[in-house]
Amino acid sequence: AACPPPARRVIVAARALLFWALVYSYCGVCACIAGLRLLWSIGRRPGETFRWVVRENPPACLNDPSLGTHCYVRIKDSGLRFHYVAAGERGKPLMLLLHGFPEFWYSWRHQLREFKSEYRVVALDLRGYGETDAPSHKENYKLDCLITDIKDILECLGYNKCVLIGHDWGGMIAWLVAICYPEMVTKLIVVNFPHPSVFTEYILRHPSQLIKSGYYFFFQMPWFPEFMFTVNDFKILKSLFTSQATGIGRKGCRLTAEDIEAYLYVFSQPGALTGPINHYRNIFSCLPLQHHEVIMPTLLLWGERDAFMEVEMAEITRIYIKNHFRLTILSEASHWLQQDQPDIVNKLIWTFLKEETTRKRE
């Protein structure tokens, strides 16, 4: 029998209480672990621990003309100015690229070069990242704001639809844009992020994924996460891309010293980490979703050696796609897939785009 309304309200309230107790308890655990690591670093190398070098000049790779043109657009409603790099002729179909954390437009450098022959390729700096404006309050980074940003940018660029590609956190946004504004997305391509409903359901049932997603909880704290990134001159940032545990694999396209400097240049600027981390500080109040279905053709690419996302979520994503769905898992690839295996990723994207075009013509 169905529960009477008062009992139902009590159950909902109890679940909410347990949920937030879990969030803040795990946040405390992650903070304690980070604090112990900080103390260990201070004990070993006190002088190095608090060294933070602000990179004054961008490395040459950020102004490489083969990647495209640096552009800016100001959104009328929000008043925010967004930075993006565009390659390919105006008037060609739009391919919009959304980066993850801790990245920026440059993570799509291989795709900017590859797809400009047939697309107007736009690699965006998301709200709070790089040269895009960064509102100061965390409420300005709620998911509905981030979704609206993409819709507004599309319109400002003079398009009403696009091929939408997202990686990591940009993949989360790409899924949500596809769900909320399906008429604006002709084809959806997501790299190493499952459907958001899969993620929220899976993480509560699998402690291993809960541990891997510990940074989601750690980021709920004010200022401390930003500080931890600066320790030892951004050692965490560098190790994310280069370490054996989380970085690009030995068979991948490793980042050059100049590539690393590009990331350090962007994130070493004062306040540069607060906007990106604010993206995560609203997530628990925005999930789970009310709407789930994705109705456009979808490609999901996944690096099996992802240190942050368990591969089982990739296959479960299939149940939410009400159209053609293709899943490709690359066994030797890391979380940073489009940088790790760019040639393979680009080939898979081309195949998917042309396959769907041919199918529509038939």
Active site residues: 168, 280, 335
Three-state DSSP at 45 gives coil
**Encoded tokens for 287:** 């999930």
The single residue listed with the structure tokens 């942050």 is: 308
Three-state DSSP at 59 gives coil
Please give the sequence-ordered ranges of beta strands (E in DSSP) within the chain, or none if there are none: 69-74, 81-87, 94-98, 120-124, 162-167, 185-191, 298-303, 325-330
Length of the chain: 362
Q: What is the distance between the alpha carbons of residues 172 and 282, in angstroms, rounded to a whole number?
A: 13
Q: What is the distance between the alpha carbons of residues 18 and 12, in angstroms, rounded to a whole number?
A: 10
Beta-bridge mates of residue 330 = 303
The phi and psi torsions of 46 (rounded to 5 degrees) equal -60, -35
Whether the Cβ atoms of residue 328 and residue 335 lie closer than 8 Å to each other:
no
- Residue 3 to residues 6, 290, 335, Cα–Cα distance (Å): 8, 21, 44
Three-state DSSP at 186 gives strand
DSSP annotation string for 195-244: -HHHHHHHHHH-HHHHHHTHHHHHTTSSSHHHHHHHHHHHHHHHHHHHST
